[in-house]
A and B are shown apart, each in its own frame.
Chain A
Amino acid sequence: MDSDITKRSGLIGNPRDFIGGLGFLLLAVFVLWATRDLPGQRGFQLGAGSVPRLFALLLAFNAIFVMALSAFGQGPAVHYALGPSLAIAALTGIGLFTNYFAGPELAVAVLILAAFASRQKLAALSIRGPIFIAIAILAFAAFIKSLGLFVTVFALVAVSSAASEEYKPVESFAWALGLAVFSVLLFILLLNQPISAFPPSLLTR
């Protein structure tokens, strides 16, 4: 989906704005499509679809305007390379596939393993940061209900730490342990949040 921004001269003077505008044009078209069945104005009453369509149209015109301006403007290129896109597509595929057959916890576990195994490769494609952060957040979503806060925070910290180029495994595990204890103390004991500290299935047995 990204990455390096380089100067480029071509048909479009400012590709960064051009693609940005294009993104919003697509969003506007999507909204117009998604609201196609909603009723519009009936008599003098505005319907459920009127206002969303009005703003989607404004958004579309504005996006086209930005794209038109960018053709004459000057700006950096945004490079959408094949390598990172394929890597993201592959990881998404693995995630969706395992999720379908084995549930979210295992799917995230597989993703974590895949990401750690291809750490150097991801760094070379310069998508290491976003990938590890995204998987760490997915891990939080997948683990919190079934595994409890302690394990979840540990996973969130341990996985997200690998996003940094300055990653130090031992330090990050210690930090993950510390933060897991800290969050149980703060959010469950002190702030009484309705979250289980440990896997609920273990506690009920």
Chain B
Amino acid sequence: MTDIFANLIFGLSIAITPTNIVLCLVGALAGTLVGVLPGIGPLATIAMLLPITFGLPPVGALIMLSGVFYGAMYGGSTTAILVNIPGEAASVVTTLDGFEMAKQGRAGSALAIAAIGSFFAGCVATVLIALLAGPLTQFAFFFGPAEYFALMTLGLVMAIVLANGPISKSTLMILAGIVFSMVSADVDTGEGRMTFGRYELSDGFGFIVVAMGVFGFAEIIKNVLQSSTRQLIAERITNLMPTRRDFAEAVPAIARGTILGSLLGILPGGGAILSSFASYTLEKKLSKTPERFGKGAIEGVAGPESANNAAAQTSFIPLLTLGIPANAVMALMVGAMTLHGIAPGPQVATKQPDLFWGLIASMWVGNLMLLVINLPLIGIWVRLLRVPYRLLYPMILVFCCIGVYSLNTSTFEIMLALAFGLFGYWLYKHDFEPAPLLLGFILGPMMEENLRKAMSLARGDLLEIMTRPLTGVLLASAAILLVVAILPAVRKQRETVFVE
């Protein structure tokens, strides 16, 4: 126990150096700024702002990027409450009661409770990460290639089961992501695979190119057709302080949301979106007056907002300890870490403790900052929402294009990103949810490398791989999970969680 606090204090000593505080602040502000804009979720925000971190040292860059992530999440809830537009998927449920509260003139309370709940959840999640990071990292050293392959398979299966939408379609997305990731030179022989002689493809599609296309360009193409008239409630937000009664109703919801979110965040494929939906369902079930939900119940804001923030943070656990991203945003963080020359995995904690603990401590600092700076700045975010979309999207395009171009100064990659953008628009037309695609895209090469290593070690004997105790357990759980999820009864239950 004392170890953990020593580590956290060591981390804080890194996180609160003036440079890192400024980076965290800039990240959180920029993240909120972009997150407030409708239609741009954390994925596109991180992808867009990633090039800005290139010149920074790795610790600073990661601190800034996680600041961007929380900021984007936070900005998403602000728009959900004020204009009924969820800035990102995790705040969809916040619109249900948050916007109702705003209509009743309680926008201030809703915003404040969302911020306070998120902050509390963030604090708890930070301690949880510190607690679990050590033991899990130790555990990870028992993992060989076969175990890693099995763990990633389990992770992908969980991502499929927990994803929003029909299972058959999210599986399709993951497999397509893996197939896209196979375009590159072979890791062992250097042979070009599906590169068609283009040297630009020998490193494969850049993950930024894919993310920017599918989440940046496609979003714009999709949104530009929609009308930009927005219903803006609460011209001026006064009275940010929630009433005593608000607090009494919200506090238990915050506590429950934090626990639920922390648990769901650790699960592969879980993360912020699922936990906010689950928390809303839970609050409604537990409430003595469920009829208030959808009509401005403060628990409907407090629970999901705490849950999604807790989950956003605990989803860092599998990434930092095992090197395996649990969801699409974490997949993007893997890409960011690789660009900065860090190989995510258990060795980060032992070899680069400053980065590891600095990042964890900065999560807490980032949350505190969001609480302190953002409530007073709400007026500015509201004003930003009045900017019509016809002016916003060209500006977003500028950032996206320069972002892609500055990676490798390659115009070919911009055209690739455009191709992925059109592909993303096609996915939207056919009702495919693209987030699992990015997860498959990042995990694909890792899975292949581990499978091939495992096959060599086992001398090509698949049976030997499958019957290793840990591998066997992991693969069996994956299979059972997949079968259970397809069972009609469970499928119905799963659908209701998202329909709510």
User: What is the interface of chain A, defined by CB distance below 8 A to chain B?
Assistant: 1-2, 5, 16-17, 19-21, 23-24, 27-28, 31, 34-35, 38-39, 41, 43-46, 48-49, 51-52, 55-56, 58-59, 62-63, 65-66, 69, 75, 78, 126, 129-130, 133-134, 136-138, 140-142, 144-145, 149, 153, 156-157, 160-161, 163-168, 171-172, 175-176, 179, 183, 187, 191-195
Contacts and interface: CB of A to CB of B under 8 A. Distances in A.
B79 to A, nearest CB: 20
A44 B455 contact: yes
B100 to A, nearest CB: 29
B406 A62 contact: no
Which of A28, A38, A43 gathers most chain B CB within 10 Å?
A38
Contact of B168 (A19, A69, A126, A193): A69
A165 B188 CA distance: 51
Interface of B: 51-52, 55, 168-169, 171-172, 175-176, 178-179, 182, 186, 188-189, 191, 193-194, 196, 217, 220-221, 224-225, 227-228, 388-391, 393-395, 397-398, 401-402, 405-406, 409, 411-412, 414-415, 417-418, 421-422, 425-427, 429-432, 444, 447-448, 451-452, 455-456, 458-461
Contacts of B411: 141-142, 144-145
B377 to A, nearest CB: 21
A45 B456 contact: yes
A45 B460 contact: yes
Contacts of B390: 161, 164, 166-168, 172
Contact of A136 (B171, B397, B455): B397
Given A48-B189, A133-B217, A62 B179 contact: no
Contacts of A195: 402, 405-406, 409
A19 B430 contact: yes
Contacts of A56: 179
A21 B427 CA distance: 11
21 contacts: A1-B426, A24-B176, A43-B460, A44-B458, A46-B451, A48-B193, A51-B448, A52-B182, A55-B179, A59-B179, A63-B172, A65-B168, A129-B221, A129-B224, A156-B394, A156-B397, A160-B397, A164-B390, A166-B390, A193-B51, A193-B402
Which of A5, A24, A51, A172 gathers most chain B CB within 10 Å?
A51
Contacts of B391: 171, 175
Contacts of B427: 20
Given A52-B179, A55-B178, A156 B224 contact: no
The 5 closest A-B pairs by CB, nearest first: A44-B460, A20-B430, A48-B186, A52-B182, A141-B414
B398 A137 contact: no
B298 to A, nearest CB: 37
A52 B418 contact: no
